């Protein structure tokens, strides 16, 4: 199965990392992969745009099937390999307990998109906004918005015993959200200000699927301290 | 079942509309609902923040289960009521045809989030960005980005025979993306420039789930022509 799969990815990109973690959790090691560089513009190469016309990473193929959106690829892998590896989303029909759990997993997964966007807006501000359109006040507001967002997540982890985002078991919510939490700490987020997020980060860091997919560039270069005043 | 559900929503909001359509498609008519007004700030009321601490709409409860994220609520309803009403996501295990279809549904659903964001950035620019930080060049760039995005979707519909986003059957991709397409035409998008999107809009407009949930405020007030030069 895994031999029919190819993933084009970039180191440290949360959307790419989600798919890497999902592949590990579903025991799909042995897939083909190509590590590309955003800095070198390799995501805009013909090889990538042939698979993903948006020229974005990840790009993912399974046989003739193309599924490039990271949420979609993760859902697809769970759906196709339901009974293989870690069960990332439980079945709902029939059991009310599972239904509550599915709802919590979904709620956190999709809130994870808001978290990711707010992180990306801060990281990318100077890169996306031309110099003559930049305002210190706008950048400050983005950082304040992110602070409010992180306080929400700190609160979620306080209220959810078990150490994972949806309770006692690793789930799709962790697949999706962990890479965003990791990039925050990699780029200087204070462990003292966010003790629950920090505990979560350390707990998951040693999970085999996450160790196996740790961004290779992070081992060479320390991150810029973008989030130290968040 | 439906009597245990409550939806707080606002007229014309694509995330709210998605959940309204999903509820219709899953034959869950009879749920409790409360139509609120963003203009009056009702999404920040205690009634809403008790359910959705983000103070956003939709807010959705099913018994004690809370699932406010629109993608999550739609997935949850499909998962819980799998064999009731329209099958919005086919089962994958075992059948390769269905797997290709699921992948396409997922791909379009999650690209729908990018479409929604690009639409929202144009609509909200003057509302979100303080006057002293606004730049004509920035607004123009947002509109150009949206133009490129719409050309992608026009192309998808050209290449996908059957009239729906994932082919011959209405699916979760349509539940998620249709409200974004509708808001574009409601706010002046040219039918001549985007003939396939326009055809899609007209085809789905008469579908019972969509007719039943058409934004009530749209019937009273014509939309501002924000997208006429896109």
Q: In this structure, are A114 and A11 located in the same domain? A: no
Cβ contact B66–A103 (<8 Å): yes
pLDDT per residue as tens digits for the range A42-56: 999 999 999 999 999
Helices A96-128 + A172-186 axis angle, to 10: 30
pLDDT for A37: 96
* Strand bridging mode B32-36 / B5-10: parallel
In chain A, the number of structural domains is 2
Cβ contact A67–B106 (<8 Å): yes
Among the three residues B10, B45, B80, which one is the final residue of a domain in this structure?
B80
Q: In this structure, are A119 and A38 located in the same domain? A: no
pLDDT for A96: 64
CB of A148 within 8 Å of a chain B CB? The answer is: no
Q: In this structure, are A65 and A107 located in the same domain? A: no
For residue A6, the enclosing domain spans 2-80
Cβ contact A72–B99 (<8 Å): no
Q: In this structure, are B107 and B32 located in the same domain? A: no
* Interatomic CA distance for residues A165 and A161, integer angstroms: 9
pLDDT for A219: 81
Positions in chain B short of pLDDT 70: 93-97
Q: In this structure, are B68 and B129 located in the same domain? A: no
Among the three residues A56, A80, A104, which one is the final residue of a domain in this structure?
A80
Query: Would you say B58 and B15 are in contact if contact means Cβ atoms under 8 Å apart?
Result: yes
Residue B216 lies in a domain: yes
CB of A124 within 8 Å of a chain B CB? The answer is: no
Residue B226 lies in a domain: no
Q: In this structure, are B101 and B71 located in the same domain? A: no
Instruction: Give the domain CATH number at A71.
Output: 3.40.30.10
What are φ and ψ of residue A40, in 5° steps? -85, 0
CB of B129 within 8 Å of a chain A CB? The answer is: yes
Q: Which of residues 164-183 of B touch A (CB under 8 A)?
A: none
Q: In this structure, are A102 and A215 located in the same domain? A: yes
Q: In this structure, are B101 and B42 located in the same domain? A: no
Query: Would you say B127 and A91 are in contact if contact means Cβ atoms under 8 Å apart?
Result: no
CB of B133 within 8 Å of a chain A CB? The answer is: yes
Residue B109 lies in a domain: yes
Instruction: Give the domain CATH number at B186.
Output: 1.20.1050.10
Among the three residues B80, B114, B147, which one is the final residue of a domain in this structure?
B80
pLDDT band at A58 (very low <50, low <70, confident <90, very high): very high
pLDDT band at A93 (very low <50, low <70, confident <90, very high): low
Give chain A positions within 8 Å (CB) of B67.
103, 106-107
pLDDT per residue as tens digits for the range A152-188: 999 999 998 899 999 999 999 999 999 999 999 999 9
Residue A88 lies in a domain: no
Residue A107 lies in a domain: yes
Residue B85 lies in a domain: no
Give chain B positions within 8 Å (CB) of A103.
62, 65-67, 72, 76
pLDDT for A18: 98
Q: In this structure, are A167 and A216 located in the same domain? A: yes
pLDDT above 70 as % of chain A? 97
Q: In this structure, are B104 and B155 located in the same domain? A: yes
Average pLDDT over residues A71-92: 94
Cβ contact B107–A79 (<8 Å): no
Q: Which residue of A has its CA nearest to B52?
A: A107
Q: In this structure, are A65 and A171 located in the same domain? A: no
Give chain A positions within 8 Å (CB) of B124.
none
Q: Comparing C-alpha atoms, which of A227, A51, A201 is closest to residue A146?
A: A227
pLDDT band at A95 (very low <50, low <70, confident <90, very high): low
Q: Which residue of A has its CA nearest to B65?
A: A100
Interface test with A, best of B75, B114, B140, B167 (most A CBs within 10 A): B75
- pLDDT beyond 70 at A94: no
- pLDDT beyond 70 at A108: yes
Average pLDDT over residues A63-83: 96
- Give the minimum alpha-carbon distance from B152 to chain A in angstroms, rounded to a whole number: 9
Residue A86 lies in a domain: no
Interface test with A, best of B54, B60, B67, B89 (most A CBs within 10 A): B67
pLDDT per residue as tens digits for the range A175-227: 999 999 999 999 999 999 999 999 999 999 999 999 999 999 998 777 789 99
Q: What does the block give as tokens for B89?
A: 């996501």
* Partner residue facing B79 (CB), from A62, A71, A102: A102
Give chain B positions within 8 Å (CB) of A128.
none
Residue A168 lies in a domain: yes
Q: Output the DSSP codes for chain A.
A: -GGGEEEEEETT-HHHHHHHHHHHHTT-TT-EEEEE-TTTTGGGSHHHHTT-TT--S-EEEETTEE--SHHHHHHHHHHHTTTSSS--S---TT-HHHHHHHHHHHHHHHHHHHHHHHHHHHHHHHHHS-GGG--HHHHHHHHHHHHHHHHHHHHHHHHSTTSBTTBSS--HHHHHHHHHHHHHHHTT--TTT-HHHHHHHHHHHTSHHHHTT--HHHHHSPPP-TTTT-
Q: In this structure, are A71 and A110 located in the same domain? A: no
């Amino acid at each position: 199965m895994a031999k029919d799969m190819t993933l084009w990815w970039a180191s440290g990109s949360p959307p790419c990392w989600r798919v890497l973690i999902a592949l590990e959790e579903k025991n799909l090691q042995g897939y083909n992969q190509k590590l590309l560089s955003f800095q070198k513009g390799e995501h805009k190469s013909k090889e990538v745009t042939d698979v993903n016309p948006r020229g974005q990473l990840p790009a993912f193929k399974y046989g003739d099937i193309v599924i490039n959106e990271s949420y979609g690829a993760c859902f697809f892998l769970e759906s196709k390999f339901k009974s293989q590896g870690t069960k990332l989303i439980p079945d709902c029909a029939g059991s009310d307990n599972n239904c509550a759990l599915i709802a919590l997993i979904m709620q956190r997964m999709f809130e994870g998109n808001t978290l990711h966007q707010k992180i990306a807006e801060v990281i990318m501000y100077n890169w996306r906004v031309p110099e003559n359109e930049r305002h210190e006040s706008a950048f400050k507001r983005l950082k304040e918005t992110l602070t409010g967002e992180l306080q929400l997540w700190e609160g979620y982890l306080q209220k959810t015993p078990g150490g994972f985002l949806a309770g006692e078991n690793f789930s799709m919510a962790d697949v999706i959200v962990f890479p965003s939490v990791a990039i925050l700490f990699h780029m200087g987020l204070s462990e003292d200000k966010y003790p629950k997020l920090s505990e979560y980060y350390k707990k998951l860091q040693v999970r085999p699927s996450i160790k196996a997919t740790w961004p290779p560039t992070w081992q060479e270069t320390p991150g810029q301290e973008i989030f130290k005043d968040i």
